[in-house]
Structure 1
Amino acid sequence: MVETLLLVGIIASIFVGFNIGGSSTGITWGPSVGAGIVKKTTAAAVMTVFVFLGGITVGQNVMATLSEGIITTNLTLSAGVAVLFFIGLGILVANIFGVPVPTSMTTVGAIAGLGLATDTLNYATIAEIISWWIVTPIIGFWIGAVIGRYVYPEVNRRVKIEKSDGPLLTLDRQGTVLKPTFGPNTSWRELGSTTFVLAIGCYMAFSAGASNVPNAAAPLVGEAGLEVNTAVIIATFAIGFGGFTIARRTMESVGGELSDIPLLAALFVMVTAATITTALSYIGIPISLVMATVMTIVGIGWGRATRPITFREAVTRAPEVKDREIQLGAIVAEEIEDEPTPPIGEEEAEEVLHGSDLFNPRAVIKYVSMWIIGPSMSTLLAYGFFIIFPGVT
């Protein structure tokens, strides 16, 4: 009986990890794949390696919070399987609404529902987690705003990420030992920029592993029956499988968000989101990588679009700014070559101010709503389930 239940739990863990791999791989490698810098298969392979590294290192802190910190008792095998069911249900609902999956928040909600039903909820820990959920979007937005307003325009004007035709590197077969050499059109600048893009992708994959591997692994760790390393390997396999399969389509679209902005802007978003997520994972806070990503995108767009007015005018919407419209899509327009970026508070070129929309405000509202609805729904459903079936715990 126990072996059968554990098998069911492993299958549920693989299902959760598979869906995580589909969404996380797209967010992590979509910009690079879209720019032709890396192929989908290579992206999925590298994603799997760095997801494992993130899960087996920093992810252990999140694992401890999920399996031991949210409730005052350890998760049993039956309770862990039930929690995985509610995580999978949260993923399904998010997919139906077509929004990035707030898996970490759904996981916390399901475990918190168990804690409420059994009177074992650690209120201090859950309060700390929720406070970070509130603060993280604010941090992501303002870091993005500073980048978009003061950093991105100058970097975008000076830095160009090159991609020439043909392979980046080839193998020299003339000698006895194969040696890598430049492709027919590769320059040192292209090699450097490509290496930089790949390094950022690896960093974000590490961050995704630190935050997402515990979601698929933690419910089966400890009293539930699996050792930590075994659970991490299973979750990594599932995430990698999702990366090689369903993520192939998401890497093309990246949920319609990052695909609409230049690769350089996407790199700023990736570094910021990965740093926020890794830092919070290090201190054991389950956090959604998507949350930091979306709010950084919004912040960069707002910062870039408000350059024609002063900071005070942008924040207070002073009367004198009424005749100067703030264009949220400014980030997607290229800077005019050989022309300096206008100082803060001065009008910019028309080509910059009238780019396509960076993001749809309604879509952002939908994402934020899911960050509230997702964990709330999983908490209520888990609470009701464990109240009705107390023997499962």
Structure 2
Amino acid sequence: MILEYIAIIVALFFAMNIGASGTAASMGAPYGAGAIRSKRLALLLVAITAFLGAVLGGGEVVKTIGKGIIPMDLLDAKIVIIILVGATLTLFLANIIGIPLSTSEVTVGSIVGVGAAFQAIYSESLLYIVSFWVIIPIASFMITYVLGYLIKLAENRWSELTENGRWTKWLSVLLVFGGCLEAFSAGMNNVANSIGPIVGAGMISSSNGLLLGALFTSIGAILLGGKVLETNGKKITKLSLLQGSAVSFTGGTLVIIASVFGVPIPLTQVTTCGILGVGAVKDGFAIMQKDVIKRIGMVWLVSPLASLMVSYLLIHLFIDPNFYQVLVTISTLIVGIGTIGLSKIVKKETRVFVDKGAGI
């Protein structure tokens, strides 16, 4: 019983980090475009609409997270704690440095790590989910690129559609509504990542789990979402009101469609790719060279693998002790960290060499 309470506590802490990462990023476009100038108001709107999304439409994704990736009979209190710890640690570290990380990726990665340890993964379901991780963000980029091009033509022809035009007030309202739609979709899709494992283990009902998860997700958005909001809203590219609306409505619609079919989608990838789509029209494809884009891309790639390795390691440490598996996992982690450190040293030495030779 104590372990079950611990699992629920960890799940709710994870829900707070989901609020900080996934749902806070959904209001990045309105905040970046200036439709909402108050960060506190933006996070409050996120909290309210994400709560409604989770309670009203989060059930299908809960089913997928709870029993669609690994067999339900593997899920007990200890396993659930390991799944949630693996996902939460990865997400928490990302929130500390202000990177919009996909909660779906870290959650699925952690679940797959457990399944790999017991050699029990529904591979077809996993491939189905991962394929959506690729297709939906690409679709978001392509749609917003086309919309961005049309918006550019419209703004050049009708100046009243620009920031200081007579339609500014109504365009701001439209963009805020789009941000709320995206936050609603975030709650609908992402809250399941935190409470899906405890629902799958039978520790709490789906309805009660969604209610608690939604509440703590909203709290997390308000308390921890500021850095991610700044990253998505201000550090990628500045959006006009119409461009921001294109991002929000595209992202929100795609994620809601995925949620109806029970597919956990990386909302932050969908949103950021949408921002890149309109940004590529506005600033050219050189926007892809920005350091923040490279950093986000690396975290997207590493995050599911990191949570997978953490949960896999914890299984072989505490549930099914296996010295050889622990040795290989730790060695892999050391090699990965060491390679990154060595790469930084080499780049630093190269810069020093080039600088010293600059005057020759």
TM over 0.5: yes
- Which residue in 2 is equivalent to 1:354? none
Could you tell me which runs of 5 or more consecutive residues in structure 2 were left unpaired when the two chains were aligned.
322-360
- Which residue in 2 is equivalent to 1:155? 154
Question: Does structure 2 retain, via aligned residues, the 8 Å contact 1:105–1:375?
Answer: yes
Comparing both structures, which one devotes a greater share of its residues to helix?
2
Identity %: 27
Separation in structure 1 between the aligned mates of residue 276 and residue 232 of structure 2, nearest angstrom: 15
- Which residue in 1 is equivalent to 2:68? 69
- For 1:389, give the aligned amino acid: F
Question: Does structure 1 retain, via aligned residues, the 8 Å contact 2:36–2:42?
Answer: no
- Which residue in 1 is equivalent to 2:81? 81
- Which residue in 2 is equivalent to 1:321? none
Question: Does structure 1 retain, via aligned residues, the 8 Å contact 2:175–2:242?
Answer: no
User: How big is the shift at 1:111?
Assistant: 0.6
Post-superposition CA distance 1:125-172 (Å, at most 9, x none): 0011111222223212221222223x12133343537789xxxxxxxx
Post-superposition CA distance 1:218-244 (Å, at most 9, x none): 121143411111111221111111222
- Which residue in 2 is equivalent to 1:345? none
Post-superposition CA distance 1:338-357 (Å, at most 9, x none): xxxxxxxxxxxxxxxxxxxx
- Which residue in 2 is equivalent to 1:91? 91
* Worse overlay, 38-47 or 122-131: 38-47
Question: Does structure 2 retain, via aligned residues, the 8 Å contact 1:80–1:224?
Answer: no
User: How big is the shift at 1:292?
Assistant: 0.8
- Which residue in 2 is equivalent to 1:323? none
Separation in structure 2 between the aligned mates of residue 223 and residue 236 of structure 1, nearest angstrom: 19
Q: Which runs of 4+ in 1 moved over 6 A?
A: 161-164
Pair 1:259–1:142, CA change in 2 (3 A): closer
After TM superposition, the score normalised by the length of structure 1 is: 0.72
Match of 1:221, SS? helix
Pair 1:27–1:96, CA change in 2 (3 A): closer
- Write out aligned runs for 1:340-355 (5 A): none
User: How big is the shift at 1:279?
Assistant: 1.6
- 1:48 equivalent in alignment to 2:62: no
Pair 1:191–1:144, CA change in 2 (3 A): closer
- Write out aligned runs for 1:1-80 (5 A): 2=1, 4-33=2-31, 35=34, 37=36, 39-74=38-73, 75-80=75-80
- For 1:218, give the aligned amino acid: G
- Write out aligned runs for 1:352-367 (5 A): 358=287, 360-367=289-296
Separation in structure 1 between the aligned mates of residue 145 and residue 275 of structure 2, nearest angstrom: 9
User: How big is the shift at 1:202?
Assistant: 1.8
Separation in structure 1 between the aligned mates of residue 187 and residue 219 of structure 2, nearest angstrom: 14
- 1:265 equivalent in alignment to 2:243: yes
Post-superposition CA distance 1:172-230 (Å, at most 9, x none): xxxxxxxxxxxxxxx9x566434322321221111110221011111211434111111
Q: Larger Rg: 1 or 2?
A: 1
C-alpha RMSD of the superposition = 2.7
Question: Does structure 2 retain, via aligned residues, the 8 Å contact 1:31–1:258?
Answer: no
- 1:371 equivalent in alignment to 2:300: yes
Post-superposition CA distance 1:230-277 (Å, at most 9, x none): 111221111111222223454455364466222332221111122222
- Which residue in 2 is equivalent to 1:106? 106
Separation in structure 1 between the aligned mates of residue 83 and residue 39 of structure 2, nearest angstrom: 32
- For 2:268, give the aligned amino acid: V
- For 1:154, give the aligned amino acid: L
After TM superposition, the score normalised by the length of structure 2 is: 0.78
Number of residues of Structure 1 aligned to a counterpart in Structure 2: 317
- For 1:390, give the aligned amino acid: I
Could you tell me which runs of 5 or more consecutive residues in structure 1 were left unpaired when the two chains were aligned.
165-186, 306-326, 330-357
Pair 1:367–1:250, CA change in 2 (3 A): closer
